[in-house]
Amino acid sequence: MRLLVSLLILGTSIIYSGHAWADFEVLDVSLTSSIRNREPSGPVLPAAHCEKDKNGQSDLPVVNSSVRPKIFFWTRIAASSEGVIRHTWHQHLEDGWETIAEVNLPITPSPGYRMWSSKALHRGNPIGDWMIVVAPSHDPERVLCITRFSVK
């Protein structure tokens, strides 16, 4: 009986811990004009990347706002359990980085869950440097990816 109770407690704690904490890994990102069949269509060049992977050594994508009035940020993420991923869009202004939007996207366990958020570039003044931070919503300090780009 003691063994059965111990196994039940162990099993419950394993199940609970799987739902309380999610393990996420960003596999791929893209800045694109549209999404078709859950895939990026019309990617911005040079290609977007996670800075954690490239260490700032690659050219930044450049978005021409007169040609692309809306931009999508597409991500493919490996997830071991359910959770919520946040795309936080920042624009660099005179006094530093300003948060423009936070988009929370639910995720389910998958070896390559695809999700995206978007930003209209025809409102306000989108010209300048931008940054998108990908992190779990419940732990925004745990940055999974940072993607930077410029808008002309």
Domains of the chain: 22-151 (2.60.40.1930)
Residue type, 17: S
pTM score of the predicted model: 0.81
Q: What is the 3-state secondary structure (H, E, C) of 84-142?
A: EEEEEEEEEECCEEEEEEEEEEEECCEEEEEEEEEEECCCCCCCEEEEEEEEECCCCCC
Q: Quick one: tokens of 101?
A: 């939007």
Per-residue pLDDT for the chain (152 aa), expressed as one digit of tens each?
Answer: 454 444 344 444 444 444 444 589 999 999 999 999 999 999 999 999 998 654 555 788 999 998 899 999 999 999 999 999 999 999 999 999 999 999 999 999 999 999 999 999 877 788 999 999 999 999 999 999 999 999 99
